[in-house]
Amino acid sequence: MPSLRLGDIAPDFEQASSLGPIKFHEWLGDSWGVLFSHPADFTPVCTTELGLTSKLKDEFAKRKVKVIALSVDKLESHGPWIEDINRTQHTVVGFPIIADADRKVSELYDLIHTNASATATVRSLFVIDPAKKVRLIITYPAYQLLPNASQPGGPGRLS
């Protein structure tokens, strides 16, 4: 499958989410969109990212931007995770989190990178314009320490 590229029409999909079924292009309407993926519910980085994004709700709304997240965990896991985000990040998550346990959306958006994992998604963010074109893609791997990163004075950098 070819990779999704800047300027491509963002793939449309219909998928369950924490706020009910989502028909992506219909849900997006004439707004800008930010779609970001996470490898799993309850991961510390993902929890803090969703918390901060939630706190910026009014700023996104001023700019007519809709936010939607994706996790490859089942819908049943999203409720407890959202409660955890709300509690630990002192916020209220008000945007949908897509349940992508079947990896349907992950495959459409090329989120499974076999050199990182055969099944887990990499963390990615897509900015999509009102014409449904992809305008920005940021992808970064799951955090891994270098061999000496845990030592005092070690670099502690991504590998």
Active site residues: 46
For 138, list phi and psi in degrees, rounded to 5. Answer: -125, 125
* Torsion sign across C-alpha atoms 41, 45, 51, 53: negative
Distances in whole angstroms, Cα of residue 31 to Cα of each of 3, 62, 71, 126, 133: 24, 11, 22, 14, 12
| Residue 75: how many other CB atoms lie within 10 Å | 16
